[in-house]
């Protein structure tokens, strides 16, 4: 589905980002996975064989650093001559009740989840806008942005901002054949989720009509659809991948 395409996936060292990078490579894409910690992508990619002609390459930088973002995106353009897809997956989450919210954590979440996403979107769209076939951008938001959740006021605010910027960018970039969509994962079986209190987790899973957590691959396959030509007339949308959750 992605043969011949070049894609960037931010936050690809583990969890959802890792699954997205793997699924894209398995479908023929040249994937540049990004992370901040040197060697964290090679830790899993060195033993990964997509068997499709696709491949995984690594980029290490902080998406809140505009100059570093520019250097990384221009490296992709220099090495491949194009950029067809971007998945803005990198994000941070601090869960704090009202009255206990840390200003430091609040600023960090907006810096990474919102400003970093805008940094990458702007740079990618400049390259895509010069290409005949444009490109596709997917921003990872969250079901908390759509439904809200106790203890996640600031996090949900940042992810709500991602939905808003997705819809505005989609309208602005459509004439350049650049599609912009968002994926809203529900509870997903990642390392972070495994550290949650089992009783709390059991109660939240009980609100999922399909009766299970999402796997990272469930989110990755939704991203695959949005990046591929199968969604060539889809833009400005928010796709919930949550197993039909009652929140």
What pLDDT, on a 0 to 100 scale, did the predictor assign at position 18? 97
243-247: average pLDDT: 76
The sheet that has 6-9: what strands, in order across it? 55-60, 30-35, 6-9, 85-88, 135-140, 178-185, 238-241
Q: Read off the pLDDT of residues 104-136 as tens digits, 9 standing for 90 and up.
A: 999 999 999 999 999 999 999 999 999 999 999
Q: Read off the pLDDT of residues 198-220 as tens digits, 9 standing for 90 and up.
A: 666 777 777 888 878 889 999 99
* Topology at the third CATH level for domain 6-185+217-240: Rossmann fold (3.40.50)
What pLDDT, on a 0 to 100 scale, did the predictor assign at position 247? 59
Q: Read off the pLDDT of residues 216-238 as tens digits, 9 standing for 90 and up.
A: 999 999 999 999 999 999 999 99
Q: Residue for token digits 């520019």?
A: 70
Q: In angstroms, how far is CA 220 from the centroid of its own chain?
A: 9
- The H or E element spanning position 33 is strand 30-35
More confident residue, 190 or 12: 12
Share above pLDDT 90 across residues of the chain, in percent, rounded to a whole number? 81
Report the half-sphere exposure of 7 (CA within 13 A, side-chain side). Answer: 37
In the chain, DSSP assigns E strands to: 6-9, 30-35, 55-60, 85-88, 135-140, 178-185, 238-241
Concerning whether 155 is annotated as a catalytic residue, the answer is yes
Q: How far apart are CA 91 and CA 15, in angstroms?
A: 12
Q: How far apart are CA 114 and CA 90, in angstroms?
A: 10
Q: Which of 22-31, 141-150, 175-184 has the lowest mean pLDDT?
A: 141-150
What pLDDT, on a 0 to 100 scale, did the predictor assign at position 79? 97
Whole-number mean pLDDT of the chain? Answer: 93
74-85: average pLDDT: 97
The full set of domain ranges for the chain reads 6-185+217-240
Q: Give the pair of three-digit tokens for residue 247.
A: 């929140």
Could you tell me which residues are beta bridge partners of residue 33? Answer: 9, 58
Catalytic option among 60, 155, 225, 233: 155
What pLDDT, on a 0 to 100 scale, did the predictor assign at position 33? 98
What pLDDT, on a 0 to 100 scale, did the predictor assign at position 206? 76
159-166: average pLDDT: 98
More confident residue, 72 or 149: 72
59-63: average pLDDT: 97
């Amino acid at each position: 589905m992605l043969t011949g395409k070049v894609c960037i996936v931010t936050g690809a060292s583990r969890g959802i980002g890792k699954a997205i990078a793997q699924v894209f490579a398995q479908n023929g894409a040249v994937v540049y996975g990004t992370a901040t910690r040197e060697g964290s992508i090679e830790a899993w990619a060195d033993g990964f064989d997509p068997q499709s002609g696709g491949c995984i390459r690594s980029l290490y930088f902080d998406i809140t650093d505009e100059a570093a973002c520019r250097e990384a995106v221009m490296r992709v353009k220099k090495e491949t001559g194009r950029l067809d897809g971007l998945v803005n997956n990198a994000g941070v989450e601090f869960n704090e009740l009202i009255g206990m919210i840390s200003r430091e954590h609040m600023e960090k979440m907006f810096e990474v989840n919102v400003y970093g996403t805008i940094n990458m979107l702007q740079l990618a769209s400049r390259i895509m806008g010069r290409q005949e076939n444009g490109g596709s951008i997917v921003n990872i938001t969250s079901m908390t942005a759509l439904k809200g959740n106790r203890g996640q006021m600031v996090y949900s605010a940042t992810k709500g901002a991602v939905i808003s910027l997705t819809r505005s960018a989609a309208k602005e970039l459509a004439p350049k054949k650049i599609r912009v969509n968002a994926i809203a994962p529900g509870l997903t079986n990642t390392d972070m989720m495994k550290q949650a209190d089992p009783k709390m987790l059991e109660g939240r899973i009980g609100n999922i009509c399909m009766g299970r957590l999402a796997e990272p691959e469930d989110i990755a396959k939704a991203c695959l659809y949005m990046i591929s030509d199968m969604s060539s007339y889809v833009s400005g949308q928010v796709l919930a991948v949550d197993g039909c959750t009652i929140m």
